[in-house]
Amino acid sequence: MTVVTETLTDNAAWAALDHKAPAPRLSVLIPTYRDDPSALLKALDEPGADAEIVLLDDGGGDAALTRRMAARIEKLKLPARLIALSSNEGRAKGRNRLARHARGRHLLFLDSDMLPDPIGFLARWAAVAADDTPVAFGGFTLDQTPRRPEHELHRAMALKSDCTPAPERAKEPEKHVFTSNLLVRRDVFETIGFDEGFAGWGWEDVEWAMRVAQRHPILHIDNSATHLGLDTAATLAAKYEQSAGNFARVVAAHRDVVSAYPSYKVATKLKALPLRHAWRPMLKTFALNEAAPTPLRALALRLYRAALYSDAV
């Protein structure tokens, strides 16, 4: 069994906070794996924000990038800590580790490829935390994401299903929870952490929200951040392939909830079709064809994902 070790880098403000009370209202928790979070860290360094920042380098293995992140942490005005791991732990374990280092009453999970949209982003979250809100999701957009031809498929799919205003998200509160911009009260997270049995990409945040929703209300607000890290079609398809096992884990634990989702319903219909292991790759091939119209490619990729998930329904 591999033993994962931590190397910590704290800035002066982090050390000074150890000798003060009370703790910051917000602990901003950012996992990263081979991505440079400099733009996000710069945007979060709001003067006077009642917050600290904890950044996790999840065993990326890029020593030069780790040094740059450490240098950025040391320059921040807000209290900040970098945790560099000796090997990769994955999305669920990494976020659980981040929470153990946090000192605030509320934890704000942000992905490293996000960028706050409104001015006073942290101040808005601090106001929500001041109401002692158990769980809240702020939403995400593509407002600041550069347009690139290789990302058009992902852009189209995200705009259709993920970039949703708060009133729409609130209709199915647990379904529209992502760790890209998520506020959680400490005692809630200590009671209900991420399931470390999930591997690879996908579903661990929605499954967590399913368990949380049984005990706490999930608030949806519009305090969005832009998702900068769109994927190529090939990368997105690979992530869907990774997520099939995680989807099966969700179905096993929460079939009553997930059976109402369109992805489950379509997967059920596709399962009834013969020879799906023969025609399923054809959907992927069409989705990866950049000469085809983007709306049809998006449809093909959604059907490919559902066909992958059909093994679990």
Domain annotation for the chain: domains and CATH numbers = 6-230 (3.90.550.10), 235-312 (no CATH)
Euclidean distance between CA atoms 162 and 181, whole angstroms: 12
Average pLDDT of the chain is: 92
Which spans in the chain are helix H?
A: 12-17, 38-44, 63-75, 91-101, 121-130, 152-161, 166-169, 186-191, 204-213, 233-258, 262-271, 276-287, 294-309
Is the torsion defined by CA of 297, 301, 306, 311 positive or negative?
A: positive
| Sequence-distant (≥ 6) Cβ neighbours of residue 1 within 8 angstroms | none
Q: How many CB atoms neighbour CB 205 within 10 A?
A: 21
pLDDT in tens, 249-266: 999 989 999 999 998 999
Rounded average pLDDT over 23-36: 93
Note the pLDDT tens digit of each residue in 157-188: 999 989 999 999 999 999 899 989 999 999 99
Mean pLDDT for 132-138 is: 97
Q: With bands split at pLDDT 50, 70 and 90, how would you rate the model's confidence at 310?
A: very high
- CA 24 to CA 77: how far, in whole Å? 14
For residue 224, give both structure tokens: 């969005």
135: β partners: 184, 218
What's the rounded Cα separation, in Å, for the pair 32 and 95? 10
User: In this structure, are residues 38 and 55 in contact, taking their beta carbons and an 8 Å threshold?
Assistant: no
Kindly state the average pLDDT of the residues 279-286: 96
The predicted-structure confidence for 47-90, as pLDDT tens digits, reads as follows: 888 999 999 998 888 899 999 999 999 999 999 999 999 888 88
Task: Report how far apart, in Å, the C-alpha atoms of 296 and of each of 91, 151, 162, 292, 300 are.
Answer: 31, 15, 18, 7, 6
Give 19's pLDDT tier (boundaries 50, 70, 90). low
Q: Which is more confidently placed, 46 or 218? A: 218
Beta bridge partners of 137: 182, 220
pLDDT for res 20: 63
Nearest CA-CA partner of 301 in 150, 175, 156, 113: 156
Q: Is the pLDDT of residue 304 over 90?
A: yes
Instruction: State what percent of residues in the chain have pLDDT above 70.
Output: 98
Helix, strand, coil proportions of the chain in percent (round to 5)? 45, 15, 35
Residue 123, pLDDT score: 94
Q: What is the pLDDT of residue 21?
A: 65
DSSP state of 135: E
